[in-house]
């Protein structure tokens, strides 16, 4: 390489640093879990989005703008199923994060997660390991697309902004299973945060049942002519919940939902989205070795 030719690594370095600088002003420090800090970003004027899991409590939340300005934050709402929390602050001068980009994200692309600590913004470079379609969290939340990074996440960057190499806003960096870095995409944040800001919560269906997976015995499978040996067993119950009111008892094994086989707890949660509230479901259960059906009207999950 001649002295007159630009160094491609230097050009890349400058380009990435400029991309971080353009977004860093919108990223804040969030103090919501004891002494450890996490991150967030200004989504709308006076509104901060952060990771729900980063907030241990609903009160005594502080947001640090820049490196020194501390402001009290009020929790407007949180949705643990999508790991999104919305905070309101009395500060409107901080720039908001840019509108999300429209181009699709591909595996192998470089991305930057941007958080903030007391010493200033922090940036970590990564690669998109998986870019896929919609998925549902273990808590039943609908995530519009799959974005998994090739590394783990540090606690201080959780809830921060994720951008592509051109500086386009992709979403929010959160911690997945075993600390793997995931992103809640911008379109999910736009949808959920708007509902939280307006209503304080996301409506979810509620059965009032604590469930665990169970493996049926060979004798039971043969006796009831079942095609599968998996189901979910009721291990605890809210006496005021719709399930117990309809006659579900601890020890019942749920094997079908409106005639469709139920194999896992996650399949039950998947059916308890916002659209389920107010609907009726026919559960196929096994009680004392005998099959039964119960009709349950799903209510809205109560605030806790």
Residue 120 region, left (φ>0) first, then alpha (ψ -120 to 50), else beta?
Answer: left
Q: What is the mean pLDDT of the chain?
A: 91
- Give the residue extent of every domain in the chain: 1-202, 205-300
Parallel, antiparallel or unpaired: strands 84-89 and 146-152: unpaired
- Mean of the pLDDT values across residues 117-124? 90
How many alpha carbons fall within 13 Å on the CB side of residue 78? 19
d(C-alpha 73, C-alpha 91), whole Å: 10
- Convert the pLDDT of each residue in 272-296 to its tens digit: 888 889 999 999 999 999 999 999 9
DSSP classification of residue 210? E
pTM of the model: 0.81
d(C-alpha 206, C-alpha 300), whole Å: 5
Write down the architecture of domain 205-300 according to CATH: Roll (2.30)
Higher-confidence position of 109 and 4: 109
Give DSSP secondary structure letters for 102-130.
Answer: -SPP-TT-EEEEEEEETTEEEEEEEEEEE
The position carrying tokens 């500060």 is 91
Percent of the chain with pLDDT over 90: 68
What's the CATH fold of domain 1-202? Thrombin, subunit H (2.40.10)
Give DSSP secondary structure letters for 170-196.
Answer: EEEEEE-GGGEEEEEEHHHHHHHHHHH
In this predicted structure, what is the pLDDT of residue 3? 62
């Amino acid at each position: 390489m001649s002295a007159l030719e630009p160094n491609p690594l230097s050009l890349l370095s400058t380009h990435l640093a400029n991309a971080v600088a353009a977004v860093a002003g919108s990223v804040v420090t969030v103090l919501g879990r004891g002494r450890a800090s996490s991150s967030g970003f200004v989504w709308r004027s006076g509104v901060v989005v952060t990771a729900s899991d980063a907030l241990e409590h609903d009160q005594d939340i502080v947001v640090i703008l820049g490196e020194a300005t501390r402001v009290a934050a009020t929790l407007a709402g949180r949705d643990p199923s999508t790991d999104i929390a919305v905070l309101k602050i009395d500060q409107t001068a901080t720039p908001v994060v840019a509108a999300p980009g429209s181009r699709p994200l591909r595996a192998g692309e470089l991305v930057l997660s941007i958080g903030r600590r007391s010493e200033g913004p922090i940036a970590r470079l990564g690669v998109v390991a998986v870019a896929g379609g919609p998925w549902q969290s273990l808590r039943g939340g609908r995530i519009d697309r799959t974005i998994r990074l090739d590394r783990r996440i540090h606690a201080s960057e959780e809830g921060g902004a994720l951008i592509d190499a051109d500086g386009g806003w992709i979403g929010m960096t959160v911690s997945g299973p075993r600390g793997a870095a995931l992103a809640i995409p911008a379109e999910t944040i736009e949808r959920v945060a708007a509902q939280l800001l307006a209503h304080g919560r996301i409506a979810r269906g509620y059965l009032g049942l604590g469930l665990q997976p169970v493996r049926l015995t060979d004798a039971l499978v043969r006796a009831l002519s079942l095609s599968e040996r998996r189901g979910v067993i009721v291990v605890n119950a809210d006496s005021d919940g719709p399930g117990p009111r309809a006659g579900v008892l601890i020890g019942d094994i749920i094997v079908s939902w409106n005639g469709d086989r139920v194999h896992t707890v996650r399949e039950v949660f998947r059916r308890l989205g916002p659209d389920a509230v107010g609907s009726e479901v026919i559960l196929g259960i096994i009680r004392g070795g005998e099959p039964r059906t119960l009709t349950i009207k799903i209510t809205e999950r109560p605030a806790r």
